[in-house]
Amino acid sequence: MSANVDLIRAIYDAFATGDVPGILGRMDPAIEWHEAENFPYADNSPYIGPEAVAQGVFLRCATEWDGFGVQVDEIVDGGDTVIALGRYVGTYKATGKTQHTQMAHVWRIAGGRAIGFQQYADTLAVARVTGAV
């Protein structure tokens, strides 16, 4: 396993335990974070910098969902590009509906930090859970 895979695995482990400083500390100060087109949190995408990601994405996940989580099924080592495949879980508070949404994350790494993130997700599934459709 490469150091880059270890970095990304550590980010997901920190997310699972609610260790936001542990996540943000592994990001480059100028990380460029892209939410999937038509995803609810894509309204300010791209988010630039860890604080923008924390406020625009993580805070919303924490306050709008019960039990929001990322279940990573596979991590693909592509050197400076690492891909995570899995599912989002959680119950959207406003609708009471639960998700099991397919997702893929493409991470770009440089200098031992995450410098880029691109989310791909089943946005129709999320729209149905959040009541957007």
- What pLDDT score does 76 carry? 98
| Alpha-helical segments (H) within 18-104 | 20-24, 50-53, 59-64
What is the count of structural domains for the chain? 1
| CB 117, CB 33: distance < 8 Å | yes
Which one-letter amino acid corresponds to residue 90?
A: G
Q: What is the CATH number of the domain that holds 112?
A: 3.10.450.50
Whether 31 has a pLDDT exceeding 90, the answer reads yes
Residues in Cβ contact with 55 at an 8 Å cutoff, skipping those fewer than 6 apart: none
Asked whether the whole model's pTM tops 0.85, one would answer yes
Mean pLDDT of the chain, nearest integer: 97
Whether 1 has a pLDDT exceeding 90, the answer reads no
pLDDT tens digit string along 73-105? 999 999 999 999 999 999 999 999 999 999 999
Closest CA to 117 of 12, 35, 4: 35
Residue 83, domain extent: 3-130
- What pLDDT score does 69 carry? 96
